[in-house]
């Protein structure tokens, strides 16, 4: 029965699409076919030059034959070649200039001058995944960042370069070690499950599994970014699709937004060119916390003993009795204050004739890791892009292959121990090394602590990755306006981790009872995708129709094998599993996922004024039970360019552009483990056993996200100033969470769709302004601002669920439930929190009465691009308004370092800190306060995220020697301003994690 | 021009046609992954069906109620009786068990109680799943399927016996249908007992030919394990004659079982005194190979539980069970059980966790005989254990002992022999209705309703049909 339904649904959808397509053709086909005959006329080669009004050649101008998608770009000298018929019209477009349309006529050489224009809406096209749209005419919400903003940033994860540059997109680097996956949220958190909020990543049409890969080293808190081995210099643009209009065509994978990464391509008719770029630089952590020096620390400790009325003893007060009272070490400097040396080299060769073009590139990137020891991150990439178009321009082929290798030596440790140890170690803790260079143990032993360098020096941790992303596309124009296309992609990402743990990391006297051990962990993801498509576009009168129908077949396979070895006879043999006394297979999993879809788009544009865009997708996924595999998603978007209306043109002459747009539609989220619907047994911990590990519900299905958006876009004074305001409301329901059950059923939950609803609303503002523009001076400013708001609208029986202590109905998802701080107890001088239910005990379930929103209240960025002759300066200031809990420190009086503020407050007898004391009551009172609103403070920040200065010296050189030569300085995270004193990583306040590095790099770029 | 339009339509149609043909529902079918096996497939083959039963044995080692660790019956029921005491006066987990003031709510003791309860029902689920699998299987031979069913029914009976002994009326869940089970009510303890007996009787008949242990491992249930447990049930039901008969069947199987002379050898793996044991599972890189019982009662400074002074005072100073099975922590001056010697080994299993052993059968038979007035013969049985303990025999010292004093002696012998094992003392006090008499004087907060543990609130809030025991 179910099959019949799905077949029937599909037939209806197809029939509708068919009627749309045929209908439009039958209506307007005749008009079109006249054009067809004309187009088939005589073609000849046209050579052209393009200059600006000052006669300076403009490179990279897009030259396109109107009504086709064929075209080329001008080269560095402003030349282009194109094969065209005399009746053809060429459209020239380039950012910052007014587009130009010229009839080819019979002349073989054209001299064209582009008029400077601040408006760029006409020319800019944005990639919407399966199709592209003109920025001016788009109906959906799509943000775009191009190569210039990405390629110079010395970071490993491509998406980190987007920080502060796009409205509605939060990118948080939770732990700034190279390759750590940043958290990417497009318009907030939609799924209640924290692991159900990854956007869809697509590189050149090939979907990439966006879930971070489990890191070998556990320092990778967020996992390793699956994009880490991409070459940033090979990225042409990154587009982020946000609303239903843009994401519904991705159906069950579009709920959390889509990130499209397009790699660079070469142009046809372009002389062979070699572009090289090198940069080198230094990086250090961008923030440290001001902690006590030895004198202050000891004063505080002694005050604690005095308050407790206690004489120091050697067991607990080793820092006062056994350690040097004058020694001082800045442990932050020792444990994560290292300098990271950065080197990056990039080369590409590109060129093409009229039918074939190529781009071949390679890169090498190396950066150091700020922890002690000689640890580095390396990345090497190669990439190839080939394009071919047949002489008659009917057949098009493109191939892109991106291959990357990387290797990370980030040490393995107890999570964050280097960082939290650096913050808590007393400043007078003893020396790390003996005179002879060996590790010092004796004084550390007195405290029961390990020498903090011991683990890092006695462990070797290497994580190697290989990543291949390949895509081939073949298209054929059956008749003008009708094209078939086949896209195929293959990806393979594998990572091999090897961790070697010598027992020498333990104190000498403990080593006897310890063993050498190793971890070997292999993770592999491969996938293929095939997408046959059928595209059409027709022009008739004032209207145009374009659209597409396509199919997707995709299969992902993930494998994981982890084997731990234990009891190696000697240090030299660690990692040789055949020499292990015991090996243990921790994980050996192979997961298969298959996905099938049909999708379509139909857009109607009347007179470039009224635009309607319909998209839809029918998805089938192996993640769900047989009854629930298929579902439909759709969206409708529309735009009205009201500035084209005469009454606006006449009455509001300063308004050069005005558009209303809006969209509504559905998307889905299928980010739930595979095979969850299977009634299956798994191996038990013990040998030879099988057991059922869960209750099975074959009837769960997608989370559904209904997205609504309304926006206005305006341009003033010939689009010198453009701005956009959008409002969105995304409601995500059908949440896939564990349905709570009594334990007598055997388990506490069963996977099911709950009618819980999460709402994300927000306002997004973008503004771009050409402040000054003269022959030698140009200053542009871009501003983006996002004001997000999330709310849990509904969650039946939340008290019974495992989310009872995480979420509250009517509140944002990103909340903390806290005690209510009640000041200092007048007798004990210790913190108190309110006993809400008056039962004389403080417990989190009954006494958590304060609900604090930890999310960002608003955030954004301001970019300024200034060019002055050959000098370009641009910088980005990022700002975030947020509150956060304090980073955890032990209570003052304990043998643990403190932030400087605590000392000052103690000196001033401030009622803001509790009595300095080392006893247990002080400890519990302190912990209650840390879990109360006492620990909340403003954690907003403003940061100079990037600053780059570039000078083009090509003009100083002999003409024709080099087509481009520039030197540049790029700085990241130069300054951060925040009142939030005690956090390292301001992006992830309250956690003892490494902040983004402050880096300065110097480099040059030469093209010849 | 119309021709082109027609041509185009045909092309369009054929392209769309291709799309429909190639897009098929079968594409999104995937096979089970390498680490999961479809339930049906599991019971299609004898090998994997056996693995499903082995899975239950393995999980008994991990399961809270049966593992001998922090939330196990051995520890918690021992606290509720007069065997154990907390080492710290402020222990919030074990204190309430010792005081018989367990909360059904959210305190640490309630969590322990909930883990005890829910882990038992997890095992019940596994048993029900296996029984359904075996029943629906077409391809396992009848002989194998009977043996497997017998073993699973035994484990289910064993688990329900403990559940009803601890909680009284409990939901009797015999299927895996969570939709139905989520709202099920409690069944009377009589009904649960009935099911225990049905399961055990079926186990006995299915295991009739299985007198030996598979692979000589006493972790696999055989006929005698089923008989031994059935003897215990008869004892609990005061059917003395039948209890005597079944325990005799086990005791007479001298080719398999004997009372070992050396107390230190009793708890070794596959010891000849063992009727059913649970093997430790070497897990993780460190390959821990000791029992949880051994680890929990290792008697170091952090041990939360000690043997009560009351209990120690009832032991003769020459009793080998005091000398060999009890340790003493010098620094904190407390006694702790030391039946298991291994609390830290890696890589080599020497001890299994004991569930049923021959000594209990002697005690069952002694009591059953005494109840029937066969005093001389009862003394013989009890003397077997006294002899091993190095104590004087009753047949020597007091052969004319009367029925009541003899029963009293048997009860004390049970206490001294089976302490720290599976809450025997707690269940003995309850079944002989002596709990109030013996515990009230030493536990100031004692109430007669304390003989049953509370049904955890956590389940009651999700299943409103679960009622609470009186007194909570």
Q: Best residue in B28, B54, B66, B220 to probe A by mutation, most A CBs within 10 Å?
A: B28
Q: What percent of chain B has pLDDT over 90?
A: 82
Contacts of A6 in chain B (CB under 8 A): 25
Q: Best residue in A532, A742, A747 to probe B by mutation, most B CBs within 10 Å?
A: A742
Contacts of B27 in chain A (CB under 8 A): 553, 594, 596, 620
Look at residue B344 and tell me whether its pLDDT is greater than 90.
no
Q: Is A115 exposed, middle or buried (0-12, 13-18, 19+ CB in 10 A)?
A: exposed
Would the pLDDT of B299 be above 50? yes
Cα separations in angstroms, A940 against A185, A221, A382, A524, A862: 19, 23, 40, 39, 16
Query: pLDDT higher for A776 or A5?
Result: A776
Instruction: Give the integer Cα–Cα distance in Å for A991 and A885.
Output: 9
Of B23, B128, B281, the CB nearest to A686: B281
From chain B, the residues in CB contact with A685 under 8 A are: 58, 62, 281, 283
Q: Give percent of chain B above pLDDT 70.
A: 94
pLDDT on residue B156: 98
A498/A407 Cα distance (integer angstroms): 11
The residue among A744, A751, A798 with the most chain B CBs within 10 A of its CB, best to mutate, is A744
User: Distance of alpha carbon B110 from its chain centroid, rounded?
Assistant: 20
State how far Cα A636 lies from the chain centre. 27
Question: Which one is predicted more confidently, A269 or B451?
Answer: B451
Q: Hey, which residues does A596 pair with through a beta bridge?
A: A553, A620
Task: Please tell me the pTM assigned to this model.
Answer: 0.84
What end-to-end distance do the CA atoms of chain A give, in Å? 66
State pLDDT tens for residues A864-881: 999 998 899 999 999 999
Q: Which helix (H) or strand (E) holds A846?
A: helix A844-847
pLDDT in tens, B140-186: 999 999 999 999 999 999 999 999 999 999 999 999 999 999 999 99
Is residue A650 classed as helix, strand or coil in its secondary structure?
helix
Q: Give the pLDDT score at A972.
A: 95
CB-CB neighbours of A380 under 10 Å? 17
Q: What is the pLDDT of residue A584?
A: 84
The mean per-residue pLDDT over the stretch A48-61 comes to 79
Q: Check CB contact under 8 Å for A484 and B15.
A: yes
The neighbouring-strand residues paired with A978 are: none
8 Å CB contact of A588 and B34: yes
* Alpha helices (runs of H) in A80-231, residue ranges in sequence order: 147-150
Distance (Å, whole) CA A296 – CA A305: 15
Q: State the nearest Cα–Cα gap between A683 and chain B, in angstroms.
A: 7
**CA distance linking residue A627 with residue A700, whole number of Å:** 9
Q: Could A594 and B181 be called an inter-chain contact, meaning their C-beta atoms sit closer than 8 Å?
A: no
Q: Which two tokens stand for residue B435?
A: 């709990």
> At A815, is the pLDDT very low, low, confident or very high (cuts 50, 70, 90)?
very high
Q: Is some CB atom of chain B closer than 8 A to the CB atom of A2?
A: no
pLDDT band with cut points at 50, 70 and 90 for residue A29: very low
- Report B:287-316 residues touching A (Cβ under 8 A): 287
Q: Do B173 and A688 touch (CB under 8 A)?
A: no
> What pLDDT score was predicted for residue A739?
86
Classify strands A44-51 and A109-113 as parallel, antiparallel or unpaired: parallel
CA dist B37 and A692 (Å) reads 9
**Model ipTM?**
0.91
Whether the CA torsion B48, B52, B58, B62 is positive or negative: it is: positive
Q: So what's the pLDDT on residue A285?
A: 93
CA distance A372 to chain B (A): 28
Answer yes or no: are the C-beta atoms of A65 and A89 closer than 8 Å. Answer: yes
Distance CA B206, CA B222 (A): 10
Smallest Cα distance from B220 to chain A, Å? 13
CB proximity under 8 Å: B 21-40 to A:
22-25, 27-40
Q: Is residue A829 classed as helix, strand or coil in its secondary structure?
A: coil
Tell me the domains of chain A and their CATH numbers. Answer: 2-125 (2.60.40.1120), 133-268 (2.170.130.10)
Task: Please judge whether A680 and B36 are an interchain contact, meaning their C-beta atoms are less than 8 angstroms apart.
Answer: yes
Q: Provide the shortest C-alpha distance from residue A101 to chain B (in Å).
A: 30
pLDDT of residue A32: 37
Token look-up 């790699």 returns A263
Torsion of Cα atoms, B3 then B4 then B8 then B14, to 10°: 50
The pLDDT-based confidence of A117 (bands split at 50, 70, 90) is: low
Mean pLDDT of A632-651: 93
> With contact defined as beta carbons under 8 Å apart, do A986 and A995 qualify?
yes
**pLDDT tens readout for residues B369-381:** 999 999 999 999 9
Side-chain half-sphere of A108: how many Cα atoms within 13 Å? 3
Instruction: State the smallest CA–CA distance between residue A701 and chain B in angstroms.
Output: 14
Say whether B285 and A685 touch across the interface (CB within 8 A).
no
CA distance readout (Å), B262 to B267, B339, B385, B394: 10, 12, 12, 20
Q: What is the DSSP string of B227-288?
A: HHHHHHHHHHTT-HHHHHHHHHHHHT-TTT----SSGGGTTBTT-TTEEEEE-----TTTTB
- Cβ-based contacts of B33 with chain A (< 8 Å): 589-592, 674-675
Our CA angle for A791, A795, A797, nearest 5°, is: 145
* Domains of chain B, each with CATH number or no CATH: 39-285+293-462 (1.25.40.390)
Q: Measure in Å the smallest separation between the Cα of B35 and chain A Cα atoms.
A: 6
Whether the Cβ atoms of residue B456 and residue B112 lie closer than 8 Å to each other: no
Measured between alpha carbons, how far is B79 from B97 in angstroms, rounded to an integer? 6
* pLDDT higher than 70, residue B4: no
Q: Where are the alpha helices (DSSP H) in A47-157?
A: 147-150
What pLDDT is recorded for position A857? Answer: 96
For residue A204, what pLDDT is reported? 94
With beta carbons under 8 A apart, name residues in chain A contacting B148.
none
A612: confidence class by pLDDT, cuts 50, 70, 90: very high
Asked if B27 and A33 come within 8 Å (Cβ–Cβ), the reply is: no
Q: Does B124 touch chain A (CB under 8 A)?
A: yes
Between the alpha carbon of residue A115 and those of residues A53, A118, A718, the distances in Å are 6, 10, 13
Most B CBs within 10 A among A484, A686, A700, hence the mutation to make, goes to A686
Average pLDDT of chain A is: 88
pLDDT confidence of A56, banded at 50, 70, 90? Answer: confident
Across the A:B interface, residue pairs with CB atoms under 8 Å apart total: 234
CB-based contact, B466 to chain A, within 8 Å = yes
């Amino acid at each position: 029965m179910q099959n019949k339904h799905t077949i029937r649904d599909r037939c209806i959808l197809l029939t509708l699409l068919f009627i749309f397509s045929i209908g439009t053709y039958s209506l307007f086909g005749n008009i079109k076919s006249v054009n067809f005959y004309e187009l088939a006329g005589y073609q000849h080669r046209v050579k052209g030059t393009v200059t600006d009004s000052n006669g300076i050649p403009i490179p990279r101008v897009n030259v396109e034959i109107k009504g086709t998608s064929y075209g080329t770009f001008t080269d560095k000298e402003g030349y282009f070649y194109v094969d065209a018929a005399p009746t053809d019209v060429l459209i020239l477009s380039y950012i910052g200039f007014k587009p130009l349309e010229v009839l080819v006529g019979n002349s073989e050489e054209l001299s064209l001058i582009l008029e400077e224009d601040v408006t760029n809406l006409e020319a800019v096209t944005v990639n919407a995944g399966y199709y592209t749209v003109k920025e001016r005419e788009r109906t959906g919400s799509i943000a775009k960042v191009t190569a210039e903003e990405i390629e110079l940033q010395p970071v490993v994860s491509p998406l980190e370069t987007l920080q502060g540059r796009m409205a509605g997109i939060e990118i948080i680097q939770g732990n700034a070690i190279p390759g750590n996956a940043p958290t990417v949220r497009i318009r907030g958190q939609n799924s209640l499950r924290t692991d159900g909020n990854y956007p869809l990543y697509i590189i050149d049409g090939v979907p990439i599994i966006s879930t971070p890969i489990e890191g070998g080293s556990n320092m990778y808190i967020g996992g390793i970014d699956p994009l880490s081995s991409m070459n940033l210099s090979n990225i042409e643009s990154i587009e982020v699709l946000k609303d239903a209009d843009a994401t519904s065509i991705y159906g069950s994978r579009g709920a959390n937004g889509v990130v499209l990464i397009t790699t660079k391509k070469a142009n046809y008719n372009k002389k062979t060119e070699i572009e090289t770029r090198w940069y080198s630089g230094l990086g250090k952590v961008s923030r440290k916390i001001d902690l006590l020096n030895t004198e202050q620390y000891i004063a505080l400790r002694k005050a604690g003993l005095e308050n407790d009325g206690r004489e120091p003893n050697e067991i607990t007060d080793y820092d006062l009795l056994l350690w040097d009272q004058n020694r001082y070490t800045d442990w932050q400097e020792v444990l994560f204050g290292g300098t990271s040396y950065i080197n990056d080299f990039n080369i590409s060769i590109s060129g093409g004739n009229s039918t074939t073009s190529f781009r071949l590139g390679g890169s090498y990137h190396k950066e150091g890791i700020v922890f002690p020891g000689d640890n580095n991150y390396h990345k090497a990439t190669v990439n190839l892009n080939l394009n071919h178009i047949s002489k008659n321009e009917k057949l098009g082929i493109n191939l892109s292959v991106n291959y990357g290798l990387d290797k990370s030596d980030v040490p393995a440790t107890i999570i964050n121990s280097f960082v939290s140890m650096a913050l808590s170690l007393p400043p007078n803790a003893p020396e790390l090394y003996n005179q002879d260079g060996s590790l010092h143990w004796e004084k550390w032993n007195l405290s029961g602590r390990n020498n903090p360098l011991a683990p890092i020096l006695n462990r070797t941790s290497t994580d190697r990755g290989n990543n291949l992303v390949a895509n081939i596309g073949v298209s054929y124009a059956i008749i003008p306006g009708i094209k078939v296309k086949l896209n195929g992609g293959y990806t393979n990402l594998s990572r091999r981790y090897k961790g070697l743990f010598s027992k020498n990391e333990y104190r000498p006297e403990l080593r006897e009872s310890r063993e050498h051990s190793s971890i070997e962990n292999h993770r592999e993801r491969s996938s293929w995708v095939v997408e046959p498509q059928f595209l059409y576009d027709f022009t008739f009168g004032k209207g145009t129709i374009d659209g597409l129908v396509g199919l997707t077949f995709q299969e992902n396979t993930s494998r994981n094998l982890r084997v731990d070895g234990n009891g190696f006879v000697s240090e030299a043999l660690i990692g040789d599993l055949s020499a292990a006394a015991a090996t243990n297979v921790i994980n050996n999993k192979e997961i298969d996922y298959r996905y099938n879809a049909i999708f379509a788009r139909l857009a109607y544009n009347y007179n470039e004024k009224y635009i309607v865009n319909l998209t839809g997708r029918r998805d089938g996924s192996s993640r769900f039970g047989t009854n629930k595999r298929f579902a439909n998603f759709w969206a409708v978007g529309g735009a009205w360019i009201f500035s084209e209306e005469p009454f606006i043109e006449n009455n509001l002459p300063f308004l050069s552009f005005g558009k209303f747009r809006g969209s509504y539609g559905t998307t889905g989220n299928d980010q739930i483990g595979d095979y969850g619907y299977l009634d299956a047994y798994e191996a038990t911990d013990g040998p030879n056993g099988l057991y059922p590990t869960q209750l099975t519900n074959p009837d769960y299905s997608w989370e559904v996200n209904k997205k609504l958006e309304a926006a206005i876009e305006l341009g003033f004074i010939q689009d010198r100033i453009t701005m956009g305001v959008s409002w969105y409301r995304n409601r995500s329901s059908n949440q896939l969470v564990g349905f709570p059950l009594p334990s007598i059923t055997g388990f506490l939950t069963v996977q099911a769709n709950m009618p819980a609803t999460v709402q994300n609303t927000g306002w997004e503002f973008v503004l771009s302004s050409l402040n000054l523009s003269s022959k030698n001076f140009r200053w542009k400013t871009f501003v983006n601002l996002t004001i997000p708001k999330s709310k849990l609208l509904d969650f039946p029986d939340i008290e019974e669920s495992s989310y009872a202590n995480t979420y509250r109905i009517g509140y944002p998802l990103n909340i903390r439930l806290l005690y209510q701080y009640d000041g200092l107890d007048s007798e004990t001088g210790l913190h108190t929190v309110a006993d809400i239910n008056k039962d004389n005990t403080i417990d989190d379930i009954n006494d958590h009465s304060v609900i604090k929103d930890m999310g960002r209240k608003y955030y954004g960025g301001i970019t300024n691009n200034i060019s002055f002759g050959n000098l370009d300066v641009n910088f980005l200031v990022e700002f975030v308004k947020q509150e956060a809990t304090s980073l955890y420190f032990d209570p003052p009086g304990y043998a643990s370092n403190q932030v400087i503020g605590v000392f000052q407050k103690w000196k001033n007898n401030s009622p803001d800190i509790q009595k300095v004391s080392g006893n247990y009551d002080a400890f519990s009172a302190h912990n209650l306060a840390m879990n109360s609103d006492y620990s909340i403070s403003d954690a907003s920040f403003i940061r100079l995220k990037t600053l780059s200065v570039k000078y083009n010296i090509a003009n100083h050189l002999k003409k024709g020697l080099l087509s481009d030569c520039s030197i540049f300085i790029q700085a990241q995270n130069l300054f951060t301003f925040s009142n939030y004193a005690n956090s390292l990583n301001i992006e992830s306040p309250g956690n003892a994690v490494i902040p983004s590095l402050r880096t300065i790099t110097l480099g040059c770029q030469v093209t010849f | 021009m119309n021709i082109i339009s027609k041509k185009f339509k045909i092309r369009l149609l054929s392209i769309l046609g291709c799309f429909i043909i190639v897009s098929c529902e079968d594409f999104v079918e995937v096979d089970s992954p390498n680490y999961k096996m479809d339930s049906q497939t599991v019971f299609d083959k004898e090998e994997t069906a056996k693995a499903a039963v082995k899975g239950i044995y393995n999980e008994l080692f991990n399961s809270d109620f049966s593992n001998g660790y922090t939330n196990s019956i051995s520890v918690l029921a021992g606290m509720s009786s007069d065997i154990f005491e907390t080492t710290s006066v402020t222990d919030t987990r074990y204190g309430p068990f010792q005081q018989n003031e367990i909360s059904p709510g959210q305190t640490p003791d309630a969590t322990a109680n909930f883990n005890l309860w829910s882990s038992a029902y997890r095992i019940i689920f596994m048993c029900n799943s296996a029984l359904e699998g075996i029943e629906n299987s077409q391809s396992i031979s009848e002989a194998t399927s009977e043996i497997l069913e017998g073993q699973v029914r035994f484990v289910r009976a064993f688990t329900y016996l403990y559940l009803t002994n601890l909680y009284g009326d409990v939901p009797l869940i015999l299927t895996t249908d969570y939709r139905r089970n989520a709202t099920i009510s409690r069944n009377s303890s009589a009904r649960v007992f009935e099911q225990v007996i049905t399961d055990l009787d079926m186990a006995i008949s299915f295991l009739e030919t299985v007198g030996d242990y598979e692979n000589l491992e006493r972790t696999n249930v055989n006929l005698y394990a089923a008989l031994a447990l059935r003897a215990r049930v008869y004892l609990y039901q005061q059917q003395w004659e039948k209890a005597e008969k079944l325990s005799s069947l086990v005791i007479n199987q001298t080719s398999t079982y004997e009372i070992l002379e050396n107390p230190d050898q009793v708890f070794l793996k596959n010891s000849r005194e063992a009727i059913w044991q649970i093997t430790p599972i070497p897990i993780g890189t460190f390959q821990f190979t000791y029992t949880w019982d051994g680890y929990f009662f290792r008697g170091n400074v952090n041990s939360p539980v000690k043997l009560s002074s009351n209990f120690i005072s009832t032991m003769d100073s020459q009793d080998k069970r005091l000398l060999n099975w009890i340790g003493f922590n010098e620094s904190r001056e407390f006694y702790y059980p030391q039946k298991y010697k291994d609390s830290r080994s890696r890589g080599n299993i020497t001890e299994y966790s004991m569930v049923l052993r021959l000594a209990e059968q002697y005690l069952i038979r002694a009591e059953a005989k005494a109840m029937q007035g066969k005093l001389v013969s009862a003394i013989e049985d009890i003397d077997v254990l006294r002899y091993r303990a190095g104590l004087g025999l009753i047949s020597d010292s007091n052969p004319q002992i009367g029925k009541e004093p003899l029963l009293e002696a048997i009860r004390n012998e049970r206490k001294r022999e089976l302490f720290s094992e599976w809450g025997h003392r707690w269940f003995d006090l309850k079944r002989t209705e002596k709990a109030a008499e013996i515990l009230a004087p030493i536990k100031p907060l004692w109430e007669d309703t304390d003989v049953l543990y509370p049904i955890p609130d956590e389940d009651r809030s999700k299943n409103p049909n679960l009622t609470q025991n009186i007194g909570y």
